[in-house]
Structure formats: structure tokens, C-alpha cells
Chain A
Amino acid sequence: MRRLGPGEGVVGILLALAAISPFVLPSQAWIGFAVNAVLISVLSIAWNVTGGFCGQMSFGHAALYGTGAYAAAMLQLRLGLNPYLAGIVGIAAGAAMGGFIGALAFRYGLRGSYFALVTLAFAEVLRILASSFEITGAGSGLTLPFRPGLANLQFPDRYAAYVFVLILCILALAVSAAVKGSRLGSNMVAVRENEEAAGAIGIDAFRVKVVAMIISGAIAGAAGVAYLQIQLFIDAPIAYGSLISVEALLGPIIGGAGTLLGPVVGTVVLHIVGEVVKTGVGGAPGLNLVFYGIVLLLILRFLPNGLMGLAGNLRWPARTASAARSAEAR
């Protein structure tokens, strides 16, 4: 049904090159950076399902990410569950939290600014709860004992961790592509573009939006579980802090919300900007985020369709009409 434009091809090749670069240029700083960027990419892909495909902008995806991480950590520490099982439950917990927030918010017809606010509030409530109760480790957080090995889903070094997040990212992209290509994905786009019109042609907008939140919650939960298994530590500001919610949406907006590769492109570009700032001006806290904000403003001003919008403008020569149409279809 769709032909890939040259823009997507170029982006895909660049991403693939970026993905193998840590193996070509081994350095501790670079691999640490790559693990983080790919992990946040997974979270961005999750955000893109609701915010991009379905048009419901969440400002509180930390609620889903943190729930996945906390569920996996508590099951391992309190019940001694196997990390794989705990991880799967963590993903399910993220999905359940997504479904719960979505069902409540959409039941009462919240959209736009209201939806952004209610998601933000949920993340904040969870942050306060997680930092208040003993079972979630209260202020000191939860630490998993270090037992490296595949059986414990823990990694002896950062390269192993990198392979793990890379696989997770590819899986998340596959899920995202499957959703996008499916009838459900088309329904999401219909709801995004005009909810009333979508309803008029028989799409159950409420169901579509809740399903989007569930899928998004599962992917975000997986990102949370991955963070836990790599860092072996989680606390309330890390899991439910506003920084995570912001990072979740920056990637897709900068890369191009609603496109398949946009979230990854945006996240990687953003992290590269952050890294360049760090090496250029020193690692003072805050400065890289200042530049994140500036990049976001510039994208809004000059590339409202994100970087993928720019890539989408590339055309095969002499096939402009059909390419334009297929670009529209995407």
C-alpha cells in the first residue's frame, strides 16, 4: 500500500549506521550515551502511539513508564519473582495503567489541554505516592541486587545492555509499524483528524483511544522495565518525574509525530545535541535541557511536521505526483 520515499530510506540507513556505531567506535562514554538514547527512543515510540497516531497528547507518560519499572522491581524484591516474569508483569502493569488513565479521561470526554493536564496529574500523584510508602522504597527508592547473567536479565557490561535495548527498540518499532499499518491504526488517524467524523462512519472513538493508551502503556512499561534491569535502581523522581514525561514527547514532536521513525530520529538528534552541548560547555546540569527547549521551539517554528517532514520532502525524481500522494497517505 505504501512505497517508501527516499527520505525514509536515507533516515533508515542513517539510523542503522548510528545503531552499529558503538561497536565500530568502542568507548565507554559513547556506549553509555547510546544505551540512554535508545532507551528513551522506546519511550518515545510509546508516546507516539497515543500522541502521534491518535493525536492525544500526554504530558504524563512517566505514569506508564514508572509503573512498569516499579511493578517489576517490587515483584522481584518483595515476592522474589523471576526477572522475566516480573518484566512481563511490569509491561502488563504499564498497559493497565494506560488503559485506566485512558478510560477515565476519555470516558469524560477530556481532550487537548485537559487530557495533557490529567495525565500530568496522574504522574504527579504516582510520584508522591511512590515517595511516601514503604513498599515502594519511599524516599530511598528500590535497588536490585547485582547478579549479572542472562538468567537474571542483568548485564555484565554496557555493550550487553546496549544489545538488549536495541532489540527492545526494534520490537517496539515492529509493534508500532503493525499498529500503524492495521485497521486500528487507520482508525486512530481518523480519530486524530476529526473525532466526530470518525464517529459518524462507525468508529468507536472511545475504544480506539483507550486501546492506543493500552498499547502505549505496554511499550512505555517495557522501557521502564529495561531501565530498571540496566540501572538496577529506581526511585520516584526517576520513574515518575516530569523529565521522563517531557523526554517521552520531545522525541516524537521533534522527529515528526505520527511517523514511524520520527520518535527515534527525534530522540537521537536531541541526545546528540545534548551531548554536543555537554562536551562544548561542560557538564553543568540544566544546560543540555535548555538546548532541548530551544530545539523544540525551532522545530515548532520551522518544521511543524518534524524532521521526518523534512525527509518526506525528498522525492524520487520524475515521480513527483505519485510520490506526493504516497507521502500524503503516510
Chain B
Amino acid sequence: MLGLVVPAVLSGLTTGAIYALVALGLTLIYGVLHIINFAHGSLLMAALYTALFMNLRLGLDPYVALPVVVAIFFCAGYLLQRYVIDTFSHGRDANILLATLALSIIIDNGALYLFTSNTRTIDVPYAFEMVEIGPAFIPLPKLVAFLAALVFAALLWLLMRHTRLGAAIRAVAIEKRGAELMGIDVKHTYAMCFGIGTACVAAAACLLLPTFYVTPQVGYAFVLVAFTTVVLGGMGSLGGALVAGLFLGVVEALCGLFLGETLGQIGIFAAFILTLLFRPAGLFAPRVA
């Protein structure tokens, strides 16, 4: 029994780290802009395709492409928030929600049109290398993803706590008007936030690509898990998102082990609905950014 459970838990933790990384971007955006970014999954999908084509056309390894993809998506996120979402929604909450939904419809179906619904993967020489951890064998790329996700979470934490930008982001999150009166450029800070959130997704995409596939719908599965992670961790809480992401990865792996593959995700959604209903503020002490 234990021989099955331990590998499932370890494998769940590696998946969970990716969930956490995706959710970190989402929770950062929620914590500051107070909106749910429905385009988050679509941006993940777009980043996966970007990394995929960098590999197919330029022969770049996803890990090598990571800084480039992250930079591209940081800029894209910044521009999207500043010049599309903000402009098109007049800054009204309900409209921001709908604007991100519109973006996700455009990106998802644009990808469907351009790339068709074929499932694509890349070949990397290390895809099937295994690392022995106690009783379990974990694929090397998954272990890399796990460690890298933790590094990114730490970097994000440092950014939020120990830089002027982080202080500005926290100020805007707590009191937008007050921050504005202190001379903080709110629109710029919002856009930086969205850019950083999108950069998290781009990093997750590069870490995911060696062991995962790409389709135009791939973002949808992730974004629902990311919503769950964010809600479970407490909307806006970075530490909460990290713990919740790892937790959900394990829940999914264990549900998959005991209930079968298709129902594996039910555990996640059950957790989602139960949390939304009973603890909408999240399981962990909710704090803004």
C-alpha cells in the first residue's frame, strides 16, 4: 500500500508545484486588482505554444528558452492590462471580469484556428530520465519543475517584501487611493502586477513542456485548478497559493490512484466548491499579497 501511496504523493507534489506557480500569478493579480483573471489559462496555453515553437523552429531547449519566454510574457501581460483590459473595461470590476473573459475567448479560439486542435509534444533527451527518491522514481523534468517552482515562489516573495516595486504593489493592494496620493502610479503598478502574474505562467509553461502536451484547450484544465488553488489558499495570499497548490497536486494524485484517472479531478472540484461555500476566505490566514 505504502509503496503505491508514497510515489503518488511525490508525483502529486511535483504536479502541485506547477499548479502553485500558475496560481501564484493568479493570486497576485487578484490580490492587487481584485479581479479574477479568466485569461490566465489562455496565457498559459499561449506560453506553451511559444516555448513549443522555440523548440521546434529554433531548437531551443525549454529550460534555455525560459528567460526569453518569461520576458516576452511579462511585456505582453503589462501591455494587455495597461492598454486592453483597463482601457476596454473603464476600470469597472464586472467589466474587467468580462474583458478577461473576452481575451480568453480570443486567445483560445485564435490558437484553435492557427494551430488546430492537434495535440503536440516535444522531444527532449532527458524526458524519461528518472531520479530515485526513497521508494519512488520521479522523472527528472518533474523534479526540476518542482525545485524551480519553489525558487520562483521565493523570488516572488523577495520581490514583494524587499523591493520598492513590491512595496508599491502592496500599497496599491491595500488602499488604492491612498497609494495614489503618495505618488504611486497606480496604472503602472497594476500593469506591472499583471505582467509579473503572466511571467509566472510563462515560467510554468516552460517547466511543464518537457513532460506535458500542448493543445488550444490545455489552459482550461489548469485555470480551473488555479482558481481552486487561489481560493483554497486565500485569495491574494502568496504563501497560501504555494501550500494549496502542492496540497491539490497530492489530492489529485491520490484521487487518481483510488478513484481512477477520469475522476481524479473531481477531488479538486469538490475541494473547490466546499471551500467556496464554507471558507470563501480560504483555509489559510488570508492576507493581501
Residues of A within 8 A of B93 (CB): 112-113
Best-buried of B84, B108, B117 by chain A (most CB within 10 Å): B108
A117 touches B109 (CB 8 A): no
A113 touches B36 (CB 8 A): yes
B113 touches A284 (CB 8 A): yes
Residues of B within 8 A of A153 (CB): none
Chain B facing A: main interface SS: helix
Would A104 and B109 be within 8 Å (CB), given that A116-B36, A286-B216, A301-B87 are in contact?
A: no
List the A residue with the shortest CB-CB distance to B221. A124
Could you tell me which residues of chain A, from 231 to 257, have a CB within 8 Å of some CB in chain B? Answer: 242, 246, 249, 253
List the B residue with the shortest CB-CB distance to A117. B227
Asked if A4 lies at the interface with its beta carbon under 8 angstroms from chain B, I say no
List the B residue with the shortest CB-CB distance to A122. B273
Asked if A215 lies at the interface with its beta carbon under 8 angstroms from chain B, I say no
Would A124 and B277 be within 8 Å (CB), given that A117-B231, A293-B106, A296-B105 are in contact?
A: no
Report the minimal beta-carbon distance from B195 to chain A, rounded to whole angstroms: 20
Asked if A297 lies at the interface with its beta carbon under 8 angstroms from chain B, I say yes
Task: Give which listed residue, A105, A116, A284, A292, contacts B105 with CB less than 8 A.
Answer: A292
Asked if A289 lies at the interface with its beta carbon under 8 angstroms from chain B, I say yes
B36 touches A296 (CB 8 A): no
B276 touches A118 (CB 8 A): yes
Could you tell me which residues of chain A, from 107 to 140, have a CB within 8 Å of some CB in chain B? Answer: 107-110, 112-114, 116-118, 120-122, 124-125, 128-129, 131-132
Report the minimal beta-carbon distance from A267 to chain B, rounded to whole angstroms: 15
Chain A facing B: main interface SS: helix
Task: Give which listed residue, A284, A286, A292, A300, contacts B98 with CB less than 8 A.
Answer: A300
List the A residue with the shortest CB-CB distance to B270. A125
Residues of A within 8 A of B102 (CB): 293-294, 296-297, 300
A114 touches B97 (CB 8 A): no
Which stretch, B53-61, B67-75, B197-205, B261-269, touches the partner chain A?
B261-269
A121 touches B266 (CB 8 A): no
Roughly how many angstroms separate A128 CA and B231 CA in the complex, as a whole number?
20
Roughly how many angstroms separate A298 CA and B103 CA in the complex, as a whole number?
12
Asked if A20 lies at the interface with its beta carbon under 8 angstroms from chain B, I say no
Would A117 and B90 be within 8 Å (CB), given that A129-B266, A286-B109, A297-B99 are in contact?
A: no
Residues of A within 8 A of B269 (CB): 121, 124-125, 128
Which 6 A-B residue pairs are closest in the complex by CB-CB distance?
Answer: A286-B112, A293-B105, A293-B106, A286-B109, A289-B109, A286-B113
Starting from the known contacts A124-B269, A284-B113, 7 additional A-B residue pairs (CB-CB under 8 Å) come to A113-B34, A117-B227, A121-B228, A121-B269, A128-B262, A300-B98, A301-B87
